[in-house]
Structure 1
């Protein structure tokens, strides 16, 4: 029995799947970053939308700026992470990094707390 010369080797097929999964993960981080930047734009402009004195949104521009900056930071970190994982896949040395997930979880949780406090803190 001869193998089909056009079919990829099992190792090659696995590597291809790994690269495609890495790209999907990268795109998911990009969507999250874009969502953060979109939220930042809405927050920065919310005082123009809401009636005067509603919900104490005087500092909404600062919350919007923070969200936009976090989105930009996420783009940079996700891009670096993508290329690091790509190289690790090629060298067959990939090991999942938990610091990345923990960092993003902590930062986004902190942003959520700040947003909730900023939006629902009624100041006189």
Structure 2
């Protein structure tokens, strides 16, 4: 157990944080762009118009929470000097993000072809 191990775990967590910020920022841009398009077209804004942006923000939040969970698990394993791979949380995270991504695609399809 060295300082390098802890620093590597922290760098990995920061990569999760950067990814989550990018997803949330992109979701915000999608939502703002939808508002802009509705204002230009003089159409009322509906909640389904913002769904794509909201889904991306939720994906960002899920990524941040999962990254923090992984960081805590890594730190625990470093302290115990025991390294085991747990695939169940990764499967759950992957499934959750896949469902959110499919919902985003469906939302974009429905908004493009009403």
Structure 2-normalised TM-score?
Answer: 0.73
1:58 positional shift: 6.3
Q: 1:81 aligns with which of 45, 70, 91?
A: 70
1:41 positional shift: 0.6
Which runs of 4 or more aligned residues in structure 1 lie more than 6 Å from their structure 2 counterparts after TM superposition? none
Distance 1:33 1:106 in 2: 17
How many residue pairs match? The answer is 108
Structure 2, unaligned runs of 5 or more: none
1:95 positional shift: 0.9
For residues 33-71 of structure 1, what are the alpha-carbon distances to aligned partners after superposition, in whole Å with 9 as ceiling and x for unaligned?
112211221222222333539xxx862312322322332
What residue in structure 2 maps to residue 4 of structure 1?
none
RMSD: 2.5
Q: 1:46 aligns with which of 28, 33, 39?
A: 33
The answer to whether the aligner puts 1:31 opposite 2:35 as a matched pair is: no
For residues 5-33 of structure 1, what are the alpha-carbon distances to aligned partners after superposition, in whole Å with 9 as ceiling and x for unaligned?
xxxxxxx5xx3343233122211211121
What residue in structure 1 maps to residue 101 of structure 2?
112
Structure 1-normalised TM-score?
Answer: 0.68
Distance 1:47 1:107 in 2: 24
Structure of greater Rg: 1
What residue in structure 1 maps to residue 54 of structure 2?
65
Structure 1, unaligned runs of 5 or more: 1-11
